[in-house]
Amino acid sequence: MGLNCGIVGLPNVGKSTIFSALSSAPAEAANYPFCTIDPNIGMVSVPDPRLDRIVSLIPTKKVVPATVEFVDIAGLVAGASKGEGLGNRFLASIREVGVLVHVVRCFENPDIVHVNNKIDPAGDIETIDIELALADLETVEKRLTKLGKSSRVDKESAKAAAVMMPVLERMKEALSEGKSVRSLNLSDEENALIYDMHLITTKPVIYVANVDEDGILEENEYVRTVREIAQSRDSEVVVICGKIEAEIAALETPEERSEFLEAVGLEESGLNQLIHSGYRTLGLRTFFTAGSDENRAWTFHAGDKAPQAAGVIHTDFEKGFIKAEVYSCEDLFTYKSEQKVRENGKLRLEGKQYEVQDGDIMHFRFNN
């Protein structure tokens, strides 16, 4: 299981620069719209100091961090849902991701073309919102038409349509006004009904305010606008300077990166903040496995039980789950060795109903 983020926004807002810094695998970045032709995909290691500390206490041959997948999707413009720009080709890519990372330009620079020739975060966000809503509206209208035909086939079909159609009609009304399905706060039952439609506007959104070097330390009016919009939608905002992040990514060692961050007055890179924001937004957590062969971070959903966590490693682990040996990484940091953790009674045997906690170190027992 991994975190899957789609980077969206208007052309020339800095998406590809941020993607390149994230993945250290440069996407083409140029000063004209539609520079990104095919979606770029990059796998990024999740920064987690706990894994480094585990490695220092439990030496191992191999270290594997958790990963995040980022997809850099071409800039959308007004009319994208009807094929303008690169249109539906990229709207289809957005349907595949778990969370939308909406990059908003929050800096002035006459040398970098803005597709609308002005810096207007609220207007830019509205343009993307409308295009995504219109794309979903087309999907909903097609489903309504299909249900209308199937309801005339037999009683069972008519009964299913009677349950589904009121939900679709509510969504159609909201989407027609440029609002997201997410804003309707559908119930779990209603979300289950529409799950197979893979609607874009049901996805959580993180807003990235892309600023210049001055804007990273002193918040400008553009960032404040983005924050106000995000707050009204219960979304998180991460402020990033794409140029600074690109410079950090070019440095070879963690020590060099730390020195650079200190020099520019930052405690943590904006990209690390973005990755952590993505984890929170999707309700993801991390557990660890540790031993002489491999120390590894694994991603799971908050609330998962021990067998589900075992299944993240291999489906056979979940099917044959017996027990899990569990202790917290914080106990390891306190007692300095797994043996001392055992001696102090901090290692536990947990069964199928155990709810895995963030930072657990786990060894699974299972039947082959």
What is the rounded average pLDDT of the residues 314-341? 97
CATH topology of domain 131-201: DNA polymerase; domain 1 (1.10.150)
* Model pLDDT for residues 132-153, shown as the tens digit of each residue: 999 899 999 999 999 988 888 8
- Tell me, what's the pLDDT at 353? 98
Domains in the chain: boundaries: 3-49+62-117+202-281, 131-201, 303-366
Q: List pLDDT tens digits, range 249-274.
A: 888 888 999 999 999 889 899 989 99
Which pLDDT does position 263 carry in this prediction?
92
pTM given for the model:
0.87
pLDDT computed for residue 30 by the predictor? 35
- Mean per-residue pLDDT for 164-190? 95
CATH superfamily assigned to domain 303-366: Beta-grasp domain (3.10.20.30)
**pLDDT at res. 89:** 56
Architecture of domain 3-49+62-117+202-281: 3-Layer(aba) Sandwich (3.40)
DSSP class of residue 200? G
Alpha helix stretches (DSSP H) within the chain: 15-23, 49-57, 88-94, 121-150, 155-176, 188-194, 221-232, 242-250, 254-264, 270-281, 306-313, 315-319, 329-335, 338-343
Q: What is the pLDDT of residues 279-318, one digit of tens each?
A: 889 899 999 999 999 999 999 999 999 999 999 999 999 9
Least trusted range by pLDDT, from 169-183, 249-263, 308-322, 330-344: 249-263
Average pLDDT rounded to a whole number, residues 66-78? 74
Give the best-scoring range by mean pLDDT among 6-15, 225-234, 265-274: 225-234
Judged by DSSP in three states, 4 sits in: strand
Q: What is the mean pLDDT of residues 179-200?
A: 94
Residues paired with residue 69 on neighbouring β-strands, in sequence order: 4, 43
Output the average pLDDT for the chain: 88
Report pLDDT for 341.
98
